């Protein structure tokens, strides 16, 4: 398989909330509307003088058998400062067969010339829409005020 990826969008947001962990969980549940959610880390640390939270997950949306949109969310909350930092990054990943033969070679050429550019446009639009929807979700989550940084 030949693997390649394209970085589509990267944005950082900061939200103010008395309970950033709850806001992070609200975003986690909100994300399930857009594709399959894979949770990588969900941690609430209450030891020591500071309480902090880390929630990391990504959304995977299959565009076809070979191409997948990944939208990663990395959230770090600090209860002492009442902030939640959210880093959003979208990438488009593709894995094409590399078997030697005229049919596979022709398929690869057509896929890269016709299908990949269409998927790239769709993925960029989807990533922008997802980012805007996340901003709206942060703005409407009770107790959260967001600012773009």
Every domain of the chain and the residues it spans: 2-148
| Residue percentage of the chain with pLDDT more than 90 | 69
Tell me whether residue 6 is exposed, middle or buried, using C-beta atoms within 10 angstroms of its C-beta: 0 to 12, 13 to 18, 19 or more: middle
The pair of three-digit structure tokens given for residue 137, joined into one six-digit string: 């979700």
Predicted local distance difference test score (pLDDT) of residue 89 = 98
Q: Quick check: 46 pLDDT over 90? A: no
pLDDT for residue 17 is more than 90: no
Mean pLDDT of the chain: 91
Report how far Cα 42 is from the mean position of its chain's Cα atoms: 15
Is 53 a residue whose pLDDT tops 90? yes
Instruction: Say yes or no to pLDDT of 30 above 60.
Output: yes
Which residues have a Cβ under 8 Å from the Cβ of 135 and sit 6 or more positions away? 13, 146, 148
- For residue 115, the 8-state DSSP code is I
Quick one: pLDDT at residue 85? 95
Is the pLDDT at 43 greater than 80, yes or no? yes
77 and 52 in contact (C-beta within 8 Å)? yes
Can you read off the two tokens belonging to residue 82?
């009442």
Distance CA 113, CA 76 (A): 40
Core vs surface per residue 59-94: b (16+ CB within 10 A) or e:
beeebeebbbbbbbbbbbbebeebebebebbbbbbb
pTM: 0.87
pLDDT for position 130 = 95
């Amino acid at each position: 398989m030949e693997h390649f990826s394209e970085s589509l969008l990267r944005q950082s947001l900061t939200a103010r909330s008395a309970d950033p962990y709850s806001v992070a969980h609200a975003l986690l549940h909100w994300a399930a509307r857009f594709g399959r959610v894979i949770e990588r880390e969900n941690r609430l640390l209450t030891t020591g003088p500071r309480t902090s939270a880390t929630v990391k997950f990504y959304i995977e949306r299959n565009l076809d058998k070979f191409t997948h949109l990944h939208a990663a969310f990395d959230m770090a909350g600090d209860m002492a400062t009442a902030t939640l930092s959210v880093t959003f990054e979208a990438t488009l990943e593709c894995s094409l067969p590399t078997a030697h033969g005229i049919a596979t070679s022709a398929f690869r050429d057509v896929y890269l010339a016709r299908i990949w550019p269409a998927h790239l446009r769709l993925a960029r639009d989807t990533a922008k829409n997802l980012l805007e929807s996340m901003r709206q979700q942060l703005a409407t989550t009770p107790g959260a005020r967001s600012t773009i940084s």
